Structure 1
Amino acid sequence: MLKSFDIYNQNNVLKIIVAINLLLVGTGSLLFTNRIINKLEAREEQYMQLYAKALAYAIQTAGTKENINFIIADIIQANQNNAIPAIYVNEHLEPVQSRSLDLPKGLSDTDPRTFLDKDVRVFLLAQRDKMRQNHNPIPVDLKDGNFGLIYYDNSLLLKQLNYFPFALLAILTALGVLAYLSFSSSRRAEQNRVWVGLAKETAHQLGTPLSSLMAWVDYMRTDPDHYEPEVTDEIEKDVNRLETITARFSSIGSVPTLKDENLDEVVTHFTDYLARRISTKVKMTVESNLPATLMVRINRLLFEWVIENICKNAVDAMAGVGELRIRLLPLPHDEVGIDITDTGKGMSKASMTKVFAPGYSTKKRGWGLGLTLAKRIVEDYHNGRLFVKTSEIGKGTTFRIVLHREPGPLPELEEPRRKRPSLLKLRGPKVK
């Protein structure tokens, strides 16, 4: 049964504590701010109720409508209501007076005893309609069937408080993002230290048995009873391969040296080696749409490791039976691509997003670091890109490697070069 695990994505207590604290602070601040806003709204409504009662009383006791505008101004001034925008309208819903309302440039309403001019009236009617959407008007009972209405809006302080929760949310979000990036960076640094230490220790441990294996190869060549040229030569290639792997592990954590290499030759030579060591039921083909002499700056040892990791994952995905196609092709913007396609089980979209994560694996055995290291080698050491180009459940997956090349046009090929790596059969040693 397949399983998925990630040795690094365990619950981080510190992350949870920080997240909970941010959530509590944010929720508490929002609730407290909302409570203050509600209290201020209630207080401002009480002010306007008081103004309406005072206005009704003043008009009734004054007894003349000619003094209404003057009385309105005095009441509002006396109650220090300049912070709350307000418009008083008569029974015909025509504006009579406004306070704490900024008139557009060019309009003036300095004398409350004068009639409003046309432009001011139009402006106040528009403001009245806006205020109606936020608050119900406060009625002013003038007796004998006469009445007025006071329309009002939130004060500047209350408006600013309404925006405060959004500002607070933005600040908390920014703090959460910074905390997440800090934790992620710390985790990546720790992972890098683990990988580097493990790689160098592995290289050190491989040194002694490699020396012993080379001695056994020399011994087999000197013993005519056990000497089989093909077998001995292939064993020597495997020993050399182990030396290459040791060199790869030793280079992890160090800045690799990049050299101009013939990409076509590198891929073809390595697939020849790899084809002899994977299942004979896997048909491997290489197709090149690049000029045979194209040079790309790579570290050959590390780049072959990338090809090996992707190809071995492809073979595992096909359960040792299927077709593995490697295609080299030119790309725009002075880039070249290597597509590695298998006919395996494919991946879901969820798996595609996690396939390069450290420790992620769908196999019963394995550390789940092969593709992670491959991506790191391509992107960190070669300034390229490695990603899943396409994948479909039950049909297969295509990984794409993108590398930079020297700028300039490439010659057109009449037809792509295709080949199938040789599959040399190894024979076992003679038995006495």
Structure 2
Amino acid sequence: MLKSFDIYNQNNILKIIVAVNLLLVGTGSLLYTNRLIERLEQREQQYVQLYAKSIAYLVDPNHINSGDLTFVTSEILEANSTIPAIYVDPNNEISKPNNITLTAGLSAEETQRELRSIIADMRERHSPVVVEMGTGERGLVYYDNSPLLRQLTYFPYALLTILLALGLLAYLAFSSSRRAEQNRVWVGLAKETAHQLGTPLSSLMAWVEFMRSDTAQYDESITDEIEKDVKRLETITARFSSIGSVPTLKDENINDVVSQLTDYLAKRISTKVKMSLSSQLPTEKTVQINRLLFEWVIENICKNAVDAMKGVGELRLTMQQLPNQRIAIDITDTGKGISKANMQKVFNPGFSTKKRGWGLGLTLAKRIVEEYHSGRLFVKSSEVGKGTTFRIVLNG
């Protein structure tokens, strides 16, 4: 048992290591990409400043009169083929929009409105670059990120999303692997237990026959009860053997199944526990179940109830018809109840409030009801200090 828990702890440590590594990779990629974006933004701002200087060069009468504009037009203005930019002159007139895609078919007035709207958006993202004129006047160049920079801005978030997705897939793979490993362990343990019980059961049956052969010394009623217990052990052995296999369901009279089981349990639990069964189902009501496994469910819940009552109290089983041809079996005790904090944990493997046991009884019961019988097992109600009601719902 200790080795099993060590395996699970190692798996948890491995998952933590994977998660931390993914987080480090994602954070490192995010920081590095942000650094690249900042450098690219600085470079694009320098381009815009150069663009602004070229405009100042063009509007300076001294440069215009010189006629030497080839360098400005061919190498500076045309160099900016990606960065959206709009120049607004000192009179607040828009001129020289560069790399701006406008809606087709607009009038001159509508075009101006659309450019003003674009300038407003640009102003929110970047401060405009000032164009100093020789006369002391100033123009403004508004600009936005290039398409490449915008794509790079979203890249780290896309990368982080991919890493989170990979982390989730890794977690699901680890969880699935662990569940498969746990199932193999429990199936192997159950079948080995069934195998080991075979030899002492055969011996016990032989002793029962021996006692029956000497009726003068051994009371027949005692041997009958011992035989019932031996057969019960055989039933338990059959249950363990069936774990890991798809059970066969048969039409069983549900009243008879539950009634016979409660009669058996009533003689073997504490005499201070009052056990009762009431049924509102038709006498011949049949349900498709695997009797061996379904009896195990009822027995597990009843034994847990007796433990919760510490051997003193009342245990009531009630069966009733539900809509849509379903039936409900309620098992109610007058025990210590279940706290709200533990309500969602009672069916978890390993969870137990008792000092003894593996904490697997309710887990197996839920699996038998829901996976093998397509039903439901849940805590219908519970109040600390007053008791708990478990409900089993089956398709009738």
TM-score range, shorter chain: 0.7 to 0.9
What is the TM-score with the length of structure 2 in the denominator? 0.88
Q: Is the 8 A contact 1:51 1:75 kept in 2?
A: no
1:262-311, CA deviations, whole angstroms, 9 ceiling, x for partnerless residues? 22322222122122222233333334343333322110000110111122
Q: Give yes or no for the alignment of 1:126 onto 2:125.
A: no
Q: Give yes or no for the alignment of 1:253 onto 2:283.
A: no
Structure 1 equivalent of residue 77 of structure 2: 78
Structure 2 equivalent of residue 318 of structure 1: 309
Taking every aligned residue pair, what percent have the same amino acid on both sides?
A: 65
1:379 corresponds to which of 356, 364, 370? 370
Q: What secondary structure sits across from 1:328 in the alignment?
A: strand
Structure 2 equivalent of residue 306 of structure 1: 297
Q: CA deviation at 1:123?
A: 1.0
Q: CA deviation at 1:344?
A: 2.7
Structure 1 equivalent of residue 225 of structure 2: 234
Give the distance between the partners of 2:252 and 2:368, measured in 1 at CA: 16
Q: CA deviation at 1:243?
A: 0.9
Give the distance between the partners of 2:325 and 2:151, measured in 1 at CA: 53
Amino acid at match of 1:324: L
Q: Is the 8 A contact 1:55 1:75 kept in 2?
A: no
Give the distance between the partners of 1:125 and 1:14, measured in 2 at CA: 57
1:122-175, CA deviations, whole angstroms, 9 ceiling, x for partnerless residues? 111111111111111112222445222111111111111121122112211211
Structure 2 equivalent of residue 280 of structure 1: 271
Structure 1 equivalent of residue 18 of structure 2: 18
Change (3 A) 1:272 1:140: same
Give the distance between the partners of 2:344 and 2:203, measured in 1 at CA: 43
Change (3 A) 1:403 1:319: same
Q: Is the 8 A contact 2:333 2:388 kept in 1?
A: yes
Q: What secondary structure sits across from 1:279 in the alignment?
A: coil
1:193 corresponds to which of 184, 188, 210? 184
Q: Is there any run of 5+ residues in structure 2 with no aligned partner, and where?
A: none
Amino acid at match of 2:59: I
- More helix as a share of residues: 2
Structure 1 equivalent of residue 97 of structure 2: 98
Amino acid at match of 1:60: D
Structure 1 equivalent of residue 43 of structure 2: 43
Give the distance between the partners of 1:395 and 1:104, measured in 2 at CA: 74
Give the distance between the partners of 2:316 and 2:41, measured in 1 at CA: 71
Structure 1 equivalent of residue 207 of structure 2: 216
Q: CA deviation at 1:216?
A: 2.8
Give the distance between the partners of 1:142 and 1:75, measured in 2 at CA: 22
Q: What secondary structure sits across from 2:145 in the alignment?
A: coil
What is the TM-score with the length of structure 1 in the denominator? 0.81
Amino acid at match of 1:84: I
Structural mapping, 1:356-371, within 5 Å: 356-371=347-362
Q: What secondary structure sits across from 1:10 in the alignment?
A: helix
Give the distance between the partners of 1:94 and 1:200, measured in 2 at CA: 88
Q: CA deviation at 1:241?
A: 0.7
Structure 1 equivalent of residue 86 of structure 2: 87
Q: Is the 8 A contact 1:52 1:150 kept in 2?
A: yes
Q: CA deviation at 1:332?
A: 4.6
Structure 2 equivalent of residue 420 of structure 1: none
| Number of aligned residue pairs | 387
Change (3 A) 1:45 1:201: same
Q: What secondary structure sits across from 2:330 in the alignment?
A: strand
Q: Is the 8 A contact 1:54 1:75 kept in 2?
A: no
For the aligned residue pairs, the C-alpha RMSD in angstroms reads 2.8
Structure 2 equivalent of residue 202 of structure 1: 193
Give the distance between the partners of 1:310 and 1:381, measured in 2 at CA: 17
Structure 1 equivalent of residue 54 of structure 2: 54
Structure 2 equivalent of residue 110 of structure 1: none
Q: What secondary structure sits across from 1:354 in the alignment?
A: coil
Give the structure, 1 or 2, with the largest relative contact order (CA under 8 Å, sep 6 or more): 1
Q: What secondary structure sits across from 2:231 in the alignment?
A: helix
Give the distance between the partners of 2:5 and 2:378, measured in 1 at CA: 19
Change (3 A) 1:402 1:6: farther
Q: CA deviation at 1:78?
A: 2.8
Give the distance between the partners of 1:9 and 1:380, measured in 2 at CA: 24
